[in-house]
Homo-oligomer: A and B are copies of this chain.
């Protein structure tokens, strides 16, 4: 339980924000996959900070080294271990925090779970920095999915009260996802994007932060992938999404709006199109009974506002067992939604690859 996930491919994550490195071991990759290192770097730069004035100033470059399972430019089939060294760490920023848990962070829960032995510097193993390993793994998963014709991409759907257009759940195309991937601030409606950035800058000026929602599509999934109990497509994707710090809600298709729909509206009726079964609507987000129906998989994840803010907050002193206050120093993103998007896409890519890989080997 904990740091290892998956069955046909197993991912073992490790590392701390202010330790030597973060990294991941990927066991079960097919042999002979030519890795597109440029693509991996590009994905990791989408998550890295300091791309613009709305993210934190820490100069991470998220360089990685592959130290096993990769030879002559291709995967060997043996476990692939990648390490992303930590540089530019300012541990002294965190000294005060040892006994004063920051509200919204895992300082307190980590302290309790690990009996005070957790590496508290910069959030330690709980740091958002761990998602760099997820994005590395997701970039490989995306490449493998690409060879099977499957594309994953998303956009920022909401920041504060500003909402972008939603995906057309029936017709969202690879072209749209590709365009979004190239944008610094990926939204469908650029005007809304401008408004969102203003919301973020306002939060920053107020020494505060703001949350948001991302929406992701998985296109050209074959029908028939997934399971009824217990490993539905929704189960597998949500399991990984909820391991990303700050994700507090996940919905598929029409999601929470299904509560006030009638069945006659919510049901996605079938038709034949060129021999293929399709649905007129996609309120189920491409998943029926836990199994893909061949329509786009659509989901949304809410990202809570950055927990680190510059305002004074009430907290406790865990040693003295008394109430106190804290004002967090150091560099913080006023909004992590843009950086969370590639992590969310990556987690989805890992989950989809797992679904394709497991439970089907003996059927072929």
Kindly identify which residue among B10, B242, B284 contacts A3, using a CB–CB cutoff of 8 Å.
Answer: B10
Considering residues A117, A247, A292, which has the most beta carbons from chain B within 10 angstroms of its beta carbon? A117
**Does A349 count as interface, using CB distance less than 8 angstroms?**
no
Number of copies: 4
Besides the known contacts A158-B260, A284-B304, A357-B361, 5 further A-B residue pairs in the complex with CB atoms under 8 A apart: A2-B28, A213-B259, A255-B302, A263-B306, A269-B315
**Does A234 count as interface, using CB distance less than 8 angstroms?**
yes
Q: What is the distance, in angstroms, from A5's C-beta to the closest C-beta of chain B?
A: 4
Contacting residues of chain A (60-82) with chain B, CB-CB under 8 angstroms: 65, 67-69, 71, 74-81
Contacting residues of chain A (1-41) with chain B, CB-CB under 8 angstroms: 1-5, 7-16, 19-23, 25, 27-32
Q: Which residues of B contact A292 (CB under 8 A)?
A: 109
Given known A-B contacts A28-B359, A272-B321, A302-B255, A260 and B230 have beta carbons under 8 A apart: no
Given known A-B contacts A71-B119, A361-B364, A316 and B271 have beta carbons under 8 A apart: yes
Say yes or no: B362 contacts A357, CB within 8 Å: yes
Given known A-B contacts A10-B4, A231-B2, A307 and B31 have beta carbons under 8 A apart: no
Report the nearest B residue to A78, measured CB to CB.
B125
- Chain-B contact segment, one of A45-53, A99-107, A182-190: A99-107
Say yes or no: A359 contacts B125, CB within 8 Å: no
Kindly identify which residue among B112, B307, B311, B362 contacts A9, using a CB–CB cutoff of 8 Å.
Answer: B362
Say yes or no: B363 contacts A356, CB within 8 Å: no
CA distance A343 to B277 in the complex (A): 32
**Does A253 count as interface, using CB distance less than 8 angstroms?**
yes
Say yes or no: B243 contacts A235, CB within 8 Å: yes
Say yes or no: B228 contacts A80, CB within 8 Å: no
Q: What is the distance, in angstroms, from A189's C-beta to the closest C-beta of chain B?
A: 17
Report the nearest B residue to A80, measured CB to CB.
B14
Q: What is the distance, in angstroms, from A28's C-beta to the closest C-beta of chain B?
A: 6
Say yes or no: B117 contacts A210, CB within 8 Å: no
Say yes or no: B12 contacts A160, CB within 8 Å: no
Kindly identify which residue among B22, B69, B83, B226 contacts A109, using a CB–CB cutoff of 8 Å.
Answer: B226
**Does A266 count as interface, using CB distance less than 8 angstroms?**
yes
Say yes or no: A253 contacts B258, CB within 8 Å: no
